[in-house]
Amino acid sequence: MTQNLRRKSFRVISMTPDLISKVLFRLKAVALLITRYNKAVRFKPHLLRSDQEKLALKYDPQTDDPLRIWIYEVTGRAIPDNFMEGLKDGVLLCELINKIKPGSVPAINHSTLNWHKLENIAQFVRAIGEYGLKPHDIFEATDLFEDMNHTQVQSTLVALAGMAKTKGFHTKNDVGVKYEAKKQRKFTPEKMTEGDGIISQQVT
């Protein structure tokens, strides 16, 4: 009797290529989340209270207004009065990048669990990096989720708006300026020779 019950309760899940692809995508997203989250947790809790207060003072809520309008134009969704709180579950952020570049985040979590909210943020971070934003322009998960640096969240959204504009995605109320990658300085042979001479003098 027991053996029959065990046989009936046993299910074999067929791993189709599509399912395997989805599982691998989720694993990569979770791995990225863990890496970025641990990096933030490792450094930011050591900030002195004075440093945290300085970051808070740099935050200008008025900068949220043009971003709020821009996000509404792109997604068609209004953000609650508390701008950062409205972004914290990561859903709107994922919808934003999906509108700018369709398919950037294939699966968005609508769960109220913190882990799923963090996963949404991680997927957004990954997607905007793939879209072209540089690492120094992208906020950490804790900047938003644990309210550590709202100024950096603002900067990331402004940079994203600029990148979208650069790639031809325009809205009625554009935010930010066109995004430009850091350019390498090029020196003429004469300048290189002059620099070598200065270094030689300093060594001697």
Q: What is the pLDDT of residues 44-102, one digit of tens each?
A: 444 545 555 565 567 888 889 999 999 999 999 999 899 999 999 999 999 999 999 99
Phi-psi region of 147 (alpha: psi -120 to 50; beta: other; left: phi over 0): left
Cβ atoms of 108 and 96 within 8 Å: the answer is no
pLDDT recorded at residue 68:
95
For the residues of 17-75, what is the DSSP string, one character each? HHHHHHHHHHHHHHHHHHHHHHHHHHHGGGS-HHHHHHHHHH--GGGHHHHHHHHHHHH
Cβ atoms of 163 and 131 within 8 Å: the answer is yes
DSSP state of 135: G
Q: Which of 109, 116, 110, 111 is nearest to 145 (CA)?
A: 116
Predicted confidence (pLDDT) at residue 122 exceeds the cutoff of 60? yes
CA distance linking residue 188 with residue 160, whole number of Å: 34
Predicted confidence (pLDDT) at residue 37 exceeds the cutoff of 90? no
Q: What is the pLDDT of residues 123-170, one digit of tens each?
A: 999 999 999 999 999 999 989 999 889 999 999 999 999 999 999 998
Residue indicated by tokens 């930011």? 44
Domains of the chain: 54-179 (1.10.418.10)
